[in-house]
Amino acid sequence: MLDVARVREDFPILGTQVHGCPLVYLDNSATTQVPECVLDRVAGHYRTSNANVHRGMHYLAHASTSALEGARRTVAAFAGAPSEDGVVFTRGTTDALNMVARGLAYLIQPGDRVVVSVMEHHSNYVPWQQLCAERGARFEVVGLDERGDVDLDELARVLDGGTTAAGGPAATADAAGNARGPVRVVALAGCSNVLGSVLPARRVADMAHAAGALFVLDGAQIMRHGVVDMQALGCDYLAFSGHKMMAGTGIGALVGTMGSLELLRPRDFGGEMVGEVTRERTTWDALPLRLEAGTPNYVGAVALAAACDYLNALGRNDVAAWEDELATHALERLRAIDGLHVLGNPRKRCGLVSFTVDGVHPLDLCTLVDARGVALRSGHNCAQPLLDLFGLTSVARLSPAFYNTREEIDYAAEQIECAVTMLRAAR
Ligand code: PMP
């Protein structure tokens, strides 16, 4: 069991006053707050160990490089990577997913297929859509079932050679003249940032692999929520962002099996990723440096490792259990509000609730509750194809983290109810 009152002391920002009210921060699916121990590790690196990495021979260069490589080991263990060389530091999830899509482009032939779902974040949708358009491949967009989970029957049909209703351009014949080529990639979110639906990742990985496809898991929303072991889940690639798991902004990782990372052609070229450069040609360095062109965000990597240590020390299953309890409580409180509709009813929900309210614009609602200290998110949440499916352009989202309390959820629900009453009266 988490001692939430104690945990809150790690996050001084939670004591902020907003318009004269205590901050109730419930926008954790967008970004989580950073604990003191991570801030200390960042400041400590700049204070004692700052130098460029993998280059100099001097004392600080060694100290900085060893901090970066130590961070890589920590992140590898945290994500269940088969090897520390399977961790590529990136700017975040978006960067990691683009790295995979760009890196695999040369393998995608006309008529091949790439599968995503309609509830993907734009970061796991647009890179594949663009790749398919460029390579003459078919972009298959699997729909949802009645609960708001990825429709696994439809996925099975697509993997078996069928196609989706919401597919992209008409299928192009592959080299062998088949109307539908092989599925090369299945790229899905571990948890939808709008519906909160948790993907049965292992099952999907097995389905993808049986069809000969690579499985890419967008881990942005799941990494701080319980133990995420990429090998146990059968991922070829796992992408995630530090700022959604207490590490702060500008850092994330692409974690892969060595075989799948070997498949990636470097997207970025420059310092440190090379073996030998001559006028005629360049050879690449070994993994993972081959995929980390230029000076990496080594202080960000140190922060990410510090956040992993912090979550491990709290107990990752305890973190998930408390976040589940808060989300369930939020669901009950919100469902009791007249005219409020929760999006989706997934079999397994991870830490967030999106909703609409009859006759109330989410933006107005979020503006009014902000005046009472409550931070929610409104908008399309970078998932326009999903919102289109629901005939919406905007939703409100409440997303707790383990440092939130039941009382905060109650307060937020009361403020939402008040705002709804005010907005309806003003109509
Ligand atoms: N995928 C999902 C499911 C997300 O929730 C997010 C962030 N909202 C992203 C990808 C993109 O993450 P980032 O902006 O950190 O690259």
pLDDT digits (tens, 9 = 90+) for 221-232: 999 999 999 999
Say how far apart CA 23 and CA 29 lie, in whole Å.
Answer: 17
Q: What is the DSSP letter of 185?
A: E
Spatial neighbors of 211 by CB under 8 A, at least 6 apart, are 159, 160, 182, 183, 186
Percent of the chain with pLDDT over 90: 93
- CA dist 180 and 178 (Å) reads 5
Atom 5 in ligand 1: which residue has the minimum CA distance? 193
At residue 174, does pLDDT exceed 90?
no
What pLDDT, on a 0 to 100 scale, did the predictor assign at position 360? 96
For residue 395, what are the CA distances in angstroms to 302, 342, 360, 386?
35, 10, 10, 11
- What is the pLDDT confidence band of residue 170, given thresholds at 50, 70 and 90? very low
Mean pLDDT, residues 95-108 taken together: 98
- Alpha-carbon distance of 63 to 53, in angstroms, equals 9
- Give, for ligand 1, the residue of 31, 119, 121, 216 to mutate: max count of ligand atoms closer than 8 Å to Cβ: 121
Measure 193 CA to ligand 1 centroid, in angstroms. Answer: 8
Nearest ligand 1 atom to alpha carbon 123: 10
Whole-Å CA distances, 420 to 320, 366, 369: 31, 10, 10
pLDDT in tens, 84-94: 999 999 999 99
CB 92 within 8 A of CB 241: yes
The pLDDT assigned to 179 comes to 55
| Nearest one of 253, 222, 242 to 34, comparing CA atoms | 242
DSSP 392: -
Give the per-residue pLDDT at 171: 44
> How many residues in the chain?
427
Neighbours of 386 (CB within 10 A): 27
Most informative mutation of 199, 228, 241 for ligand 1 (most atoms within 8 A of CB): 241
pLDDT at 165: 58
Name 244's bridge partners.
none
Mean of the per-residue pLDDT values for the chain?
Answer: 95
Distance CA 218, CA 236 (A): 11
Percent over 70 (pLDDT), the chain: 96
d(CA 126, CA 34): 29
Is 132 noted as a catalytic residue in this protein?
A: no
Q: For 21-70, what is each residue's pLDDT tens digit?
A: 999 999 999 999 999 999 999 999 999 999 999 988 999 999 999 999 99
User: Among residues 381, 357, 354, which one has the least CA distance to residue 368?
Assistant: 357
User: Which residues line the pocket of ligand 1, CB cutoff 6 A?
Assistant: 92-94, 121, 123-124, 189, 193, 218, 220-221, 241, 243, 382
What is the DSSP-derived secondary structure letter of residue 349?
A: B
Q: In testing the pocket of ligand 1, which one of 31, 123, 397 has its CB within 8 Å of the most ligand atoms?
A: 123
CA pair distance 112, 132, nearest whole angstrom: 8
Question: Which residue is catalytic, options 132, 235, 382, 418?
Answer: 382
Calculate Rg over the CA atoms of the chain. Answer: 22
In this predicted model, what pLDDT tens digit does every residue of 286-336 receive, in sequence order?
A: 999 999 999 999 999 999 999 999 999 999 999 999 999 999 999 999 999
180 or 123, greater pLDDT: 123
User: pLDDT tier at 110 (50, 70, 90 boundaries)?
Assistant: very high
pLDDT of amino acid 260:
98
Q: Evaluate whether 86 touches 257 at the Cβ level (below 8 Å).
A: yes
* pLDDT (tens digit per residue) in 370-386: 999 999 999 989 999 99
Question: Which residue's CA is the closest to the ligand 1 atom numbered 8?
Answer: 30
* β-sheet bridge partners, residue 345: none
